[in-house]
A and B are shown apart, each in its own frame.
Chain A
Amino acid sequence: MGNYPAIMRSKWFLPLFSLVLGVVVLGASWAGGSLGSGLISLAVLAGFGLLILLAGRSETIRGLRGDGRDERFAQIDLRATAVTGLVLIVTLIVAWLTEIAQGHSGSPYAWLCAIGGLSYALAVAFFRWRG
């Protein structure tokens, strides 16, 4: 009854995702010449993953971790994603307007707003077409 692939319903999903993200950040930081901050990022993300893995059995923790995901959590996840998107786009618009008001070009906020708006329009068109 879940809408998630099996791998996303494993208790290892978010912890491993955090660890992989930490390794990627480490690689990017190393390439950018700041190995120290990369190691700190890896430690923080790996620690977060470990904390989530060992955390309790509350529905919120299990849902975030992966092993508590079912169709109701999919709906919660969708709503939470929509709220997150709304907060991000409002933040970007405010930041863009603030930059313009201060006599700056508005970059990169203008670009991020444009990407957000275009993504939304394309997603609406795609899901309408798919039915």
Chain B
Amino acid sequence: MKNQVRALRMKHDLAQGQLAEAMGVSRQTINSIENERYMPSLPLAIALARYFGVPVEEMFGDGELSGNHAL
């Protein structure tokens, strides 16, 4: 699944190691998430979204959900 983790991390000028430390996971785990090789658990996904202050469905997805929530 596509995600915005790398884009948000770069936007906040963070290194993978800094984000990993904040999340309590390894740097390689952050790298795997960014490269879509690992799907994080729900608690980690929520923690990442809260850390960057965005809804979790915007962080994990193709980014097309923004501003299009009415179904």
Contacts and interface: CB of A to CB of B under 8 A. Distances in A.
Interface centre among B23, B26, B38, B47, by most chain A C-beta atoms within 10 angstroms, is B26
B25 A1 contact: yes
Contact of A68 (B26, B38, B43, B47): B26
Interface residues of A, number: 10
B23 A1 contact: yes
Interface string A37-79: 0000000000000000000000100100000101111010000
Contacts of B28: 59, 72
B41 interface: yes
Contact of A72 (B25, B43, B47): B25
A60 B28 CA distance: 11
Nearest to A70: B25
A2 interface: yes
Contact of A1 (B32, B38, B41): B41
Contacts of B16: none
Contacts of A72: 25-26, 28-29, 32, 38, 40
Given A2-B24, A70-B26, 8 more contacts: A1-B41, A68-B26, A70-B29, A71-B29, A71-B40, A72-B32, A73-B29, A75-B38
5 contacts: A1-B43, A70-B24, A70-B25, A72-B29, A72-B38
Interface of B: 23-26, 28-29, 32, 38, 40-41, 43-44, 47
